[in-house]
Amino acid sequence: MLIPIITITRQPDSVPPYVLDRMLACGEVHAFERSSGWVMVGRDPIRAARASYHGNERRHSSNFRFKSLQA
Protein backbone atom coordinates (compact mmCIF):
# COMPACT_ATOMS: atom_id res chain seq x y z
CA MET A 1 0.00 0.00 0.00
CA LEU A 2 1.42 3.37 -0.99
CA ILE A 3 0.83 6.48 1.10
CA PRO A 4 0.44 9.83 -0.69
CA ILE A 5 2.94 12.41 0.58
CA ILE A 6 4.17 15.90 -0.16
CA THR A 7 7.91 16.30 0.28
CA ILE A 8 9.55 19.34 1.87
CA THR A 9 10.28 20.55 -1.68
CA ARG A 10 6.47 20.48 -2.23
CA GLN A 11 6.65 17.58 -4.69
CA PRO A 12 3.82 15.01 -4.55
CA ASP A 13 4.83 11.37 -4.25
CA SER A 14 3.58 8.02 -2.93
CA VAL A 15 5.70 5.76 -0.73
CA PRO A 16 5.31 2.52 1.24
CA PRO A 17 4.86 2.86 5.04
CA TYR A 18 8.45 1.92 5.92
CA VAL A 19 9.79 4.62 3.60
CA LEU A 20 7.40 7.18 5.11
CA ASP A 21 8.73 6.32 8.58
CA ARG A 22 12.31 6.90 7.42
CA MET A 23 11.43 10.12 5.59
CA LEU A 24 9.59 11.47 8.65
CA ALA A 25 12.61 10.67 10.84
CA CYS A 26 14.86 12.56 8.41
CA GLY A 27 12.52 15.55 8.12
CA GLU A 28 11.86 15.03 4.42
CA VAL A 29 8.04 15.11 4.53
CA HIS A 30 5.85 18.21 4.57
CA ALA A 31 2.52 16.31 4.66
CA PHE A 32 1.05 12.84 4.22
CA GLU A 33 -2.43 11.43 3.85
CA ARG A 34 -4.18 9.28 6.43
CA SER A 35 -7.62 7.72 6.10
CA SER A 36 -8.91 10.67 8.16
CA GLY A 37 -7.29 13.26 5.88
CA TRP A 38 -4.02 15.09 5.31
CA VAL A 39 -1.51 15.45 8.17
CA MET A 40 0.79 18.48 8.19
CA VAL A 41 4.12 17.60 9.80
CA GLY A 42 4.89 20.01 12.63
CA ARG A 43 1.24 21.03 12.98
CA ASP A 44 -0.72 17.80 13.44
CA PRO A 45 0.18 15.04 15.91
CA ILE A 46 2.09 12.06 14.56
CA ARG A 47 3.30 9.10 16.56
CA ALA A 48 6.91 9.12 17.64
CA ALA A 49 9.35 6.56 16.31
CA ARG A 50 9.50 3.50 18.50
CA ALA A 51 12.57 3.21 20.67
CA SER A 52 14.42 -0.06 20.55
CA TYR A 53 13.79 -2.49 23.41
CA HIS A 54 16.68 -2.85 25.86
CA GLY A 55 15.24 -5.46 28.23
CA ASN A 56 15.71 -9.21 28.43
CA GLU A 57 14.70 -11.22 25.37
CA ARG A 58 11.62 -13.24 26.35
CA ARG A 59 10.41 -14.52 22.99
CA HIS A 60 13.08 -17.18 22.56
CA SER A 61 14.30 -19.49 25.25
CA SER A 62 18.07 -19.93 25.38
CA ASN A 63 17.42 -23.45 26.73
CA PHE A 64 15.34 -24.52 23.73
CA ARG A 65 16.72 -27.53 21.85
CA PHE A 66 15.26 -29.50 19.00
CA LYS A 67 14.33 -32.99 20.09
CA SER A 68 15.51 -35.79 17.91
CA LEU A 69 12.88 -37.26 15.63
CA GLN A 70 14.29 -40.71 16.32
CA ALA A 71 12.80 -42.55 19.27
Establish if 20 belongs to a structural domain. yes
Pairing mode, strands 37-40 and 12-15: unpaired
Q: With contact defined as beta carbons under 8 Å apart, do 27 and 6 qualify?
A: no
Residue range 28-42, pLDDT digits in tens:
999 999 999 999 999
Report the candidate in 32, 29, 27 with the shortest Cα–Cα distance to residue 2. 32
Q: Is residue 39 part of a domain?
A: no
Cα Rg of the chain, angstroms = 20
The domain of 12 spans 3-32
Q: Is position 46 within any domain?
A: no
Asked, for residue 48, whether it belongs to a domain, the answer is: no
Q: Among 7-11, 21-25, 44-48, where is mean pLDDT lowest?
A: 44-48
Looking at the chain, the whole-number percentage of residues with pLDDT higher than 90 is: 62
Question: Domain for residue 7, yes or no?
Answer: yes
On whether residue 47 sits in a domain, the answer given is no
**Measured between alpha carbons, how far apart are the two ends of the chain, in Å?**
48
Overall domain count for the chain: 1
Domain membership flag for residue 69: no
Q: What is the pLDDT of residue 4?
A: 98
Asked whether residue 23 is domain-assigned, the answer is yes
pTM for this prediction = 0.65
Neighbour tally for 5: CB within 10 Å: 23
